Amino acid sequence: MKLINFSSINHQFVAVFCVNIISLAHGSSIGWLSPFLPILLSEASPLATGKISMDEASWIGALLCAGGICGCAVYGSLATRCGRKTTILLLAVPHIGFWLCVIFADYVYHLYLARFLAGATGGGLYIIVPLFVAEIADPAIRGRLGAILPLAVSMGIFNGFVAGTFIHHTYIPFCMLSLSAIFFLTVIALPETPLSLLKVSRITDAEASFRFYKNVSENAVDNKIKEDFRKVQEQQMKSQSREEKLQFKDFTTPAAKKGFVIGIGLMLLTQFCGCFAFVNYTATIFKESGSELDPNISAIVLGMVQIFGTYTSTIFVDRAGRKTLLLISSIGAATGLILMGTYSFFKFQGYALAFLDWVPVATLSLVIYISSVGILALPYIVLTEVLPSKIRAVGSSFCLVTISISAFVILKAMPILMTSIQLFGCLWLFAGFCIIGAIFIALVVPETKGKVLDDDVPTTKDVQPGTPTV
């Protein structure tokens, strides 16, 4: 396999980094809850109505996912109607709304709305950013570029943990709003994706965009670029000539059915492994585990571990492959959850485990790290690779609605489950789901490394940069 010519792809990296500023900002809004929730549950609550109840806390957690369902529907439709770039820019609207609600919150209902808006941002984010990456990235680096999304979210969560621990909660929203301004100013300078422009017959602009993302000057004479762009045009024309509008039969083809099974299965695994609940309730979980270490400091350690895990994914996703990392991740997460559940069980039984205070941080760090390598980072990449191109936008929206619904169930049930079956019961339950997920991955999920995203082109293992992608 030839070495990658980075001069031909550096614009792709720059574009994806700019787009993922909103991912970083969204992660900060998720991480904000962990250090802030104990304050809301205490007498020091800044709300006019005083401290909130555990039931209200569970609604603050769960409404993120209700917003995600709405975001999936709205941004999935916008992605088709308005193009990728415009839809990405519109992600800033609910995100800014989130922080404004936090700034002016006097009642718990204001925080309900805030979390709903944060969820809408996330729902749109996980649809439109992978589509944008799929349409501008060369196949040889698509996995690495796609993994920047979960990496940026992980960094944002860590940012939220640190800010919530060391900065007074009244100042945090004003600091975070600056990210939205940076995001808007950088993304607005990027061109629309070539495919979005071809779909509205803007041929000249599409070629200019294609050259930009290949880092080739508009005036440069490059026969290979012209030939690659011509192939993309032909593929797009074939796609449009089949049928202009989606029909029900498009969703019932063997490829579509298999894509939906894989997509929905992986989306469910990302939630039922329990990691998203851990991120939202990190400080509370460490407190319930019986560890005497500071819960907020433990959460910061966990956030740092998540960054390293996601970064590991970016390194190996195009080397080891998607399926291998997903399998390792599922089995490793199950192991860590069983170990932490066992510690929590013996602590609950009254055993003196002060000398093992490090176990909750170590085992949960293992779970978050190994999950970030695979089952938290890669399903969104695999989703765009297993769905046929014609239904990719709508299919992605449908699968992400599934993840929002399952996340809502988990976040709403987690505080209740920790009371009814205790923390150890929750951990063992999540471990069981990880084992089921590993079996599903082994038997059903194909390897998609290096796949060219076009229905007429077979999957290849050694695709070089410069191959046109659709």
Q: Which of 22-31, 37-46, 65-74 has the highest mean pLDDT?
A: 22-31
Q: In terms of domains, do 164 and 259 share one?
A: no
Longest Cα–Cα distance in the chain: 76
User: Per residue in 411-465, pLDDT tens?
Assistant: 788 877 887 888 889 899 999 999 999 999 999 988 877 665 554 333 333 333 3
What is the reported pTM?
Answer: 0.74
Residue 396 maps to a domain = yes
Is the residue at 432 inside a domain? yes
Does the structure show a pLDDT above 80 at 354?
A: no
Burial 175-199 (b: 16+ CB within 10 A, else e): ebbebbeebeeebeebbbbbbbbbe
398 belongs to a structural domain: yes
The answer as to whether 225 is a domain residue is: no
Query: Does one domain contain both 60 and 171?
Result: yes
Boundaries of domain holding 139: 9-190
Residue 46, domain member (yes or no): yes
Report if residue 363 sits inside a domain.
yes
Q: Which of 126, 159, 190 is the last residue of a domain?
A: 190
Residue 234 resides in a domain:
no
293 plus 390 within the same structural domain: yes
Q: Which helix (H) or strand (E) holds 215?
A: none
Q: Is the pLDDT of residue 58 over 90?
A: no
Q: Are residues 115 and 254 in the same domain?
A: no
Choosing from 165, 190, 215, the residue where a domain stops is: 190
Which range scores top for mean pLDDT: 7-21, 54-68, 83-97, 368-382? 83-97
* DSSP 8-class letter at 389: G
283 shares a domain with 160: no
CATH number for position 307: 1.20.1250.20
Q: Are residues 260 and 161 in the same domain?
A: no
Cβ atoms of residues 440 and 265 within 8 Å: yes
User: CA 19, CA 342: separation in Å to the nearest integer?
Assistant: 42
Judged by average pLDDT, the poorest of 103-107, 169-173, 237-241, 257-261 is: 237-241
Domain count for the chain, please give it: 2
In a domain, 201, yes or no: no
| Domain shared by 174 and 260, yes or no | no
More confident residue, 54 or 243: 54
Q: Using CA of residue 48, residue 53, residue 55, residue 58, what is the dihedral sign?
A: positive
pLDDT in tens, 114-128: 999 999 999 899 889
Give the pLDDT band of residue 229 (cuts 50, 70, 90). confident
pLDDT band at 2 (very low <50, low <70, confident <90, very high): very low
**64 falls in which pLDDT band (50, 70, 90)?**
confident
Q: Do 119 and 49 belong together in one domain? A: yes
Residue 217 scores a pLDDT above 60: yes
Whether residue 36 contacts residue 60, with contact meaning beta carbons closer than 8 Å, is answered with no
* Residues 248 and 150 both lie in one domain: no
Minimal CA–CA distance to 126: which of 348, 444, 397?
397
Q: Is the pLDDT of residue 3 over 50?
A: no
Decide if pLDDT at 41 tops 80: yes
| Distance of alpha carbon 164 from the chain centroid | 22
3-state secondary structure 26-41: HHHHHHCHHHHHHHHC
Domain stop point among 190, 215, 230: 190
Winning range, highest mean pLDDT, from 76-80, 242-246, 265-269: 265-269
